[in-house]
Amino acid sequence: MPGHMAMRDVLPMSWSDEAAGPMVGGVALAELAAEHGTPLYVVDEEHLRARFTDFRKAFGADTQLAYAAKAFFCVALAEMLAGEGWWVDAVSEGEIKTALEGRMAPSRILFHGNYKTDAELGMALDEGVGRIIVDDPSEIGRIKAADRSVAVLLRLNLDVAADTHPHIRTTGADVHFGMSVDAADAAIAAAVDGPVNLRGVHVHIGSQIGDPHRYHDAAIAALDFIDERRQVFGDRPELDLGGGMAAPYRADDRLIALEDYADAIRSAIGDAQVRLFVEPGRRVIANAGLSLYTVGVRKEAEPPFLAVDGGISDNPRPALYGATYEAVSLSRRGEEAPFRIVGRHCETGDRITQARLPRDTGPGDLIAIPATGAYGFSMASRYNMLPRRPVVFVGDGSARVAVAGETLGDVVR
Ligand code: LLP
């Protein structure tokens, strides 16, 4: 977007403004909308590849990168991760199955979760996942009962007061993830003489973390825990600092360099002999993705409402976290005015964002909402019995359906 420098950080990197309208991955967005209908999720493969490289550069070859599947996952993405040598953080049978379907090695799956069903734990052990992230001491007993040897990280709940929305903050006494130091010691005691191979600890402080120094604090606290129990974790203990690196949603959001997160962690680790893991989701996929909608109704108000054909069902983030987004017209150019872009669901809270669009925007126009790649499709619902919408990957001038949309038949069934 000319004159809007920081908008570049929000848009997929292959976005280009052509005479025929915006393109991503060499494909006109309006053509995608015509072919697949709207709402539509579009993912820029070049952007994804660039993020894989950025993480590798910032964190270095000796850090193990694992992608958090919960942000968005599908077989096509699993295949890309397999090719890049990334691991994956999975929390369900569905996420594990998708990783395997994408030919990721089971040994590159980190199996997480504060509630692992017997079926899921059994599947993880049968497939031979790389690590189980134990969230409660009781899991040690369950693994021992299955009598399958497996490498384990202990998820610690260390209060490092992450500065983010309370719903996506994951440490502190009021949080139900991970173990206190006492509970972790109980897990360690339970693990003696058995198939559980304790490798290290896991700490995920939260998501959309705007202050890299929190990772420093988390790493220091985790390293103290490890140091006091050196004999437990072997020669090169593993330290998994989770995900949470922030992505820009609006043009005026500050873009925090990945190096700043990496440096904060490195300054805590110093020359301690640990193997570092990080598990980013959002920062990898958020800005690679965007959502296309068709405006159906314009209601005059101050500022006017534009109702689009999706909303809380394909992106619950505004309603859940007060998230806001930019908007770009695919149909018009010219002088802009503020609009309130709302969804089609029967809730006052179904408001996608407030943003500037060409003044004459109205029914039939296409708009793109950038930065919806993370936690949009993955948290989509069928609210009001709308079928879930497809995800299309674009790159090198072509498009492929990475996730098929649901049909009305699916919804009724
Ligand atoms: N590792 C663990 C253990 C996690 O719980 C999460 C996210 C991640 C990694 C990846 O975090 P990320 O890099 O994506 O921030 N639905 C919310 C976000 C929930 C995050 C849950 N855990 C949202 O839309 O903002």
Check pLDDT > 70 for residue 227.
Answer: yes
Ligand 1 atom closest to the CA of 209, numbered from 1: 15
> Pocket residues for ligand 1 (CB within 6 Å)?
68, 70-71, 89, 112, 168, 204, 207-208, 242-245, 279-283, 317, 321, 374-375, 379
More confident residue, 284 or 162: 284
Nearest protein CA to atom 20 of ligand 1, as residue:
207
Ligand 1 atom closest to the CA of 321, numbered from 1: 25
Check pLDDT > 80 for residue 162.
Answer: no
Confidence of residue 174 (pLDDT cuts 50, 70, 90): confident
Check pLDDT > 70 for residue 259.
Answer: yes
What does the pLDDT look like over 262-278, one tens digit per residue?
A: 999 999 999 999 999 99
From ligand 1's centre to the CA of 219, what distance in Å? 18
The predicted pLDDT at position 115 comes to: 98
The predicted pLDDT at position 2 comes to: 40
Residue position matching structure tokens 């559980």: 196
Nearest protein CA to atom 16 of ligand 1, as residue:
375
Averaged over 250-256, what is the pLDDT?
95
Confidence of residue 169 (pLDDT cuts 50, 70, 90): low
74 annotated active-site? no
Choosing from 19, 346, 385, 412, the catalytic residue is: 346
The predicted pLDDT at position 4 comes to: 45
Residues with Cβ within 8 Å of 105's Cβ and at least 6 positions away in sequence, in order, are 82, 130
What does the pLDDT look like over 124-146, one tens digit per residue?
A: 999 999 999 999 999 999 999 99
Averaged over 106-115, what is the pLDDT?
98
Averaged over 389-393, what is the pLDDT?
98
Averaged over 344-355, what is the pLDDT?
97
Alpha-carbon distance of 277 to 265, in angstroms, equals 11
Check pLDDT > 80 for residue 254.
Answer: yes
The predicted pLDDT at position 165 comes to: 61
Mean pLDDT of the chain: 95
The predicted pLDDT at position 316 comes to: 98
What does the pLDDT look like over 56-84, one tens digit per residue?
A: 999 999 999 999 999 999 999 999 999 99
Check pLDDT > 50 for residue 208.
Answer: yes
Alpha-carbon distance of 354 to 342, in angstroms, equals 9
**Exposed e or buried b per residue across 202-224, where buried means at least 16 C-beta atoms within 10 angstroms of its C-beta:** bbbbbbbbebbebbbbbbebbbe
The predicted pLDDT at position 1 comes to: 38
**Could you tell me what percent of the chain has a pLDDT over 70?**
96
The predicted pLDDT at position 3 comes to: 38
One DSSP character per residue, 89-155 reads EE-SHHHHHHHHHTT--GGGEEE--S---HHHHHHHHHHT-SEEEE-STHHHHHHHHHT--EEEEEE
